[in-house]
Structure 1
Amino acid sequence: MTEETNENLTLPYVAVTMGDGAGIGPEVIVPAVLDHGILQECRPVVIGDLLRLRQAADILGIDADIQAIENVEDAEFTPGRVNVIDLALLPEDLKWGQLSLLAGHAAYEYIRVASELAMTGKVQAICTAPLNKEALHAAGHIYPGHTELLASLTGTEEVSMMLSTPKIRVIHVTTHIGLADAIRKINPDLVQRTIRRGYEALVRAGIPNPKIGVCAINPHAGENGLFGQGEEAEKIEPGVQAAQAEGINAVGPLPADTLFFLAGRGDYDLVVAMYHDQGHGPVKVLGIEAGVNITVGLPVIRTSVDHGTAFDIAGKAIADSRSMVEALHQAAEMATRPSMAR
């Protein structure tokens, strides 16, 4: 067994949570953590169930050396090896593609352990496979999703969701609330904080002075008050101006349809969307398999695939691992490093 190189020892550790074990998480994790390119960028350690990962490897026909470890520092990164902190929470006969309270609870536990590792500095980023919200709730863990769960576990008051694709990046001012509620919630301070979180994330990723475009709420950015109730002038413009006063290169509010076109051709490094579907729609048109969901504002960066548990194809060896590979790539790129420690 070959030893790690000195260069490898400087790579960030990434905790990879298995998500809902009845979904496609195990099937996308195994090939992703074995990806040669990923192993040049980070040291992935899976938080999950050893048995389920071995079942996934068998289904995929992958000859992987999947081994349990007690601590992150016990992991060995050699060709074909998958390192797992094995919580052993799932039964051997767990059915693929079916809602399971046990799988919902296990998904929560994987996140809890990953959060503890992050908070103690054992890992420098978290990358999550999808969980099933219905299963999570059935197990008594009432959170809208990963983002809110991680915020609670790490004691973080406010985080932002960023979607990243090879073509555009989008950060959201509001996410999982109704449109009318989102408009009520938007205010200049929240807009400013969201812009700042996006700016800091991009600087961490190696973009020194990102250009940020901020969406309007109404068509044509309100057309000087012709559309809407003056939301642009009241809720968005002061937030953009406050961000500019911090030295951030932010522009807006701009008509969303025009801004996404300009960002898609490379004029902007980041788009600030005001509500969930304003940002998610354009990203998913570009191809969900390449999309990554990033939570910014946590003590460490968290990335995730931009797809669900896909119960309809789980256990059938047809899940696409490209989004998980990209999520690991983004986690490695944006991970906390010793020179950035506070």
Structure 2
Amino acid sequence: MKLRKIGFLLFILILAVSMGACSIETGVDTGTKAAAGDENKNLSIEAIGEGYPLTIKDFVGYETVLDKKPERTAVLSGTSLNIWYDLGGKSICTSNISKNIKLLAEHKDEIINIPSVGATYSIDMEKVIEYKPDLVIAQEGTQGEQAKKLRDMGFKVIVSRIKSYDDVMAAYRVFGKILNSEEAAEKRISEIENKRQELVSKLPQQKTSVIILYLTSKSLAVKLDNSIAGDVSNILGLKNIASDLPPDTIGSETTPLDIEYIVEKNPDYILVTSMISSNETAKKTMEEQFAASPAWKGVRAVSEGRVIYLPQEYFLFNSGPYYGEAIEYVARSIYPEVYGEVKDWYEK
């Protein structure tokens, strides 16, 4: 009886310690994780609360409490910057703005002249700190390490991941709440959603397959469904023949190129995305690769001219407010008889 009592007390003690550890892990404090198991999940961004104080649960599972509307925000990536300015926000500094980002026309000059703190993938931490931001919006992956360091130093940091259509919608809603611009956010969301619905409603019944190539100055790989082009393909009901292939690494949006596999699956279209100096250079480089390798002759999409080069302003960087245009570009490229020719619509 005595042993049972001792065993029971030990069980209660262990349970209490476990619950205490769990409560520490899930505490809602700047820089704490939202849940112990969230580390490997792709979370959507969320604003918890009606008005201030707001708790922002970001894409990597961290929760940040904002007591009031931030006055000195540092938005460190282009897509987030575009959405932030679309809702009336300002940024005290940012990373280098690529010429291939499609910036909002009404804010383009202002955004280009925001002080730079270095390249997106290598921001200057000291410069960021000098600006004394009361909120930092960093980019998942490329700025993850810097985000953690800033958070550890006491800065309020939100990690943003804006790749898919759903990511764009979530970012608009959260940024709208932070900026007290919820009406403007819902208006933009409605515009993008109406465009998506309009395009999807006209889709032909035929099944169309694609492979999405990813060209850089050093390599050629294949994009998966968690890429921008993969997401747009899913929206348009296109079958990405690489969907079931394993990623390079956990969470990666690419898989190694396997021409034999592409020949075997024989997709109807090849979509080419790129991270290279320009859209024109990407097309020239890819055409040279097609011509240099006899293996590509076995892919009918190549021999029959069904290769579509996707503009970097839509598919290298998420186009944010222009996501509807990204969908339309692919729709027009594959089904011109339904949507009209790309050349009659797309402005470089």
Fold match (TM-score > 0.5): no
TM-score normalised by length of structure 1: 0.27
Higher relative contact order (CA 8 A, sep 6+): 1
